[in-house]
Structure 1
C-alpha cells in the first residue's frame, strides 16, 4: 500500500529523459565515492570524535556546540562529513524517483532501490563507529561498504543506459567475463587488506590524550606487503584480461575501459609506494582513498561492459524504415 502510494505520487511528476536519469545515477556514483573521501579527511585530521555521539553531534544538540571539549575544527570536519550524508540521500532518492517515474524495467528499479537502503545501512554503521570509539574494524566496514556501493552504483548507470525493450547481448566470451569478475574479487581483497593497513597505522581518527583508539595489533610492515601483493595480483589479472581483449578483437569501448583501469591502478600503486617511503602523510591517505573509489568504479564499468542490452535488429531498423 505504501509503495503504491509512492508510485502514484511519483507519477504526477514530469517524465525524466534518459539523459536526466543517467546524470542523476552518475551523481549517485560521485556522492558514494565522495563520502568515502570526506571520511578519510575526518580520519587524517583526527576529527573522528569531533561529534561525540550519534545521531546527535553532542548530547542534546544535533550541531556543533561551544560547550564541547572537542576543538571547533574537529567538530566542523566531522559535522561536515555528516552533512554530506544528506547529499547521498538526496541523489539516492532522486534516482529512485526518476526510474520509477520513467517506469524502467525491474532490474533498474532493483539497483536504484539499493542506493537509499545502503545509505540507511551506512548511517547505522557510522553511528556504531562513533559509539564504539572508532574501533578499527568498524571504520574498515564503513569504508568497504562505501566501495561496494560505488560498484553497485556504476552497475546502475550501466543498466539505466540500456533500453528496457532490448535483448541481452554477450559481447565478451564467458571466460573473459569470468576473468573480469575475478579481477573484481582481487580488488575486493586488496581493499580489505588496505583497511587492515589503515587499522594498524598511525591515523586512528582521534588523538585526544584522554582517549586511546584501539588499533589492529598486527605488524604493519607485513600488512603493507600483503596489501601490495594483492594489488600485484589484481594488476596481473587486469593485464592478462587486456591481452585477451585484444586477442578476441573486443570493442573499442571495452579496451578503453581496460586502459583506464590499468592507468588508475598504476597511479594507486605509485601513491602507495610514496606513502610507505614517507611515513604515510595525511594528504596521501585522502588521495589513496579517492583512487580506491576510482579503481572500484572503473573495474565495475569494465566488468559491466561484458554483457549489454541492445535493441534487436528489427527494432533498430524500425525508425529508419518509418522515416523512409
Structure 2
C-alpha cells in the first residue's frame, strides 16, 4: 500500500470511463451468453476450463460443429475482457486519494464477481446446462450489473451514511420495486428453463408448462409497473429535475422491455428476440439502479489537508450529482489524510 500511495492519483474522468465500461461489459456478457444458448452452442466446448480435453481452444471434432465451438469459445474469451476491465477499475480505486472504503469495496467486487462468474460458467458446463445452473449463472450477472452502476456513482460520492434525496417515501417504494424486479428476473429464468432454447438439444428442460411460468413472469411485470406509477406520483410532489430525468428513462425502458416480452411470447420465442430481451433486462436493471442511486446522497468526495480535492481535472463533477451544484452545502467536505 505504501508503494501504491506513491503513485499519482488518477483523474475522475478516467475512473468514470472505466466504471461505465464495467457496466457495459457485465451487461454484454449476459447477452453473449444468450447467443450461446439460442444457437445451441452451450456445449460447443464440452469441458471447462479447457475447451476440449487437452486443448484450451476449439479443435476439429465430428460431434461438435466448428461454428458452435467458436461461439461458446468466444463467450469465454469475452469473459477475459470483462475481467481485465474489472481489474483496471479496482486498480484505479486503490490509486485514488483520499481512498474511500465504499468505493474500493465496490471496485473490488468487480474482479471477484468475474471470478465467481467463471466458476459458475464451469459448473454450468459440467452439469450439461441444467436449467437451474443456467438460471444462477444469469442471475449472478444481474447482481454484477447492479453493483457496477453503484460503482459508477461512487466515483463522485463520499463515505458518509446515505441521506434521502427527493420526496418522502420514494426510497421505500424503490426498495419494494427492486424486490419485485428480483422476482421478475427469477421468474424470467423459469420461463427460460421451461422454454425451447436450452443451449443444447440434449439438455432436459424444467418440467413446468411454459404458459404457467410466463403468466407468473407477467404478473411480476404488472406489479413492477404499478410501483413505478406510484413512484411517479410521489415524484410529482416536488422532485429534483435529475430524478425526473432518470425516472423517465426507466419508464421508457420498462415499457419497451414489456412490449418486447409480449411480442416474444406471441411469436413463439424466436432466437433474436431472446437475446434482445436479455439486453432489455440488463437495461431495466441499469435504469432502476441509476434511479436508486439518485435518491441516496453519500456526501461529497473528501478533500485533502490543504482543502482542495485531489482531482482538479473534473471541476463539474458536483453539477452531475442529484440536485445539481450546491446539493451538499449543508454537508461540508470531510478533510482526510488520504
Q: Which residue of 2 aligns with 1:261?
A: 250
2:329 paired with 1:313 = yes
Shift of 1:160: 1.1
State which of 280, 285, 292 in structure 2 corresponds to 1:291.
280
Question: Does the CA contact (< 8 Å) of 1:36 and 1:143 recur in 2?
Answer: yes
Q: TM-score, length-normalised on structure 2?
A: 0.86
Shift of 1:168: 4.9
Question: Does the CA contact (< 8 Å) of 1:58 and 1:68 recur in 2?
Answer: no
Q: Which residue of 2 aligns with 1:320?
A: none
Q: Which residue of 2 aligns with 1:144?
A: 139
Which structure has greater helix proportion? Answer: 1
Shift of 1:243: 1.2
State which of 273, 283, 307 in structure 1 corresponds to 2:262.
273
3-state SS in 2 of match to 1:213: coil
Shift of 1:68: 5.8
Relative to 1, partners in 2 of residues 1:23 and 1:73: Cα closer, same or farther, differing over 3 Å?
A: same
Relative to 1, partners in 2 of residues 1:120 and 1:167: Cα closer, same or farther, differing over 3 Å?
A: closer
Shift of 1:163: 4.5
Relative to 1, partners in 2 of residues 1:316 and 1:45: Cα closer, same or farther, differing over 3 Å?
A: same
Q: How many residues align?
A: 305
Question: Does the CA contact (< 8 Å) of 2:167 and 2:234 recur in 1?
Answer: no
Partners of 1:260 and 1:287 lie apart in 2 by 18
Q: Which residue of 1 aligns with 2:225?
A: 235
Displacement over 3 Å in runs of 4+: 7-14, 166-169, 309-312, 314-317
Unaligned runs of 5+ in 2: 301-327, 334-338
Partners of 2:214 and 2:105 lie apart in 1 by 37
Alignment of 1:121-270 (within 5 A): 121-163=116-158, 168-173=162-167, 175-207=169-201, 212-247=202-237, 249-270=238-259
Q: Which residue of 1 aligns with 2:101?
A: 106
Shift of 1:83: 0.4
Shift of 1:13: 4.5
Relative to 1, partners in 2 of residues 1:20 and 1:276: Cα closer, same or farther, differing over 3 Å?
A: same
Partners of 1:290 and 1:121 lie apart in 2 by 21
Shift of 1:175: 2.2
Partners of 2:62 and 2:151 lie apart in 1 by 42
Q: TM-score, length-normalised on structure 1?
A: 0.90
Q: Which residue of 1 aligns with 2:77?
A: 83
3-state SS in 2 of match to 1:240: helix
Partners of 1:168 and 1:147 lie apart in 2 by 23
3-state SS in 1 of match to 2:298: strand
Moved more, 303-312 or 7-16: 7-16
Partners of 2:8 and 2:62 lie apart in 1 by 46
Partners of 1:59 and 1:204 lie apart in 2 by 23
Question: Does the CA contact (< 8 Å) of 1:99 and 1:109 recur in 2?
Answer: yes
Question: Does the CA contact (< 8 Å) of 2:45 and 2:72 recur in 1?
Answer: yes
Partners of 2:161 and 2:250 lie apart in 1 by 28
Q: Deviations over 1:182-240 (max 9, x none)?
A: 11111110000000000000001012xxxx20110001101111101101111110111
Q: Deviations over 1:8-64 (max 9, x none)?
A: 454454421011111111111011101000000000000000001000011000000
Partners of 1:174 and 1:117 lie apart in 2 by 36
Shift of 1:265: 0.7
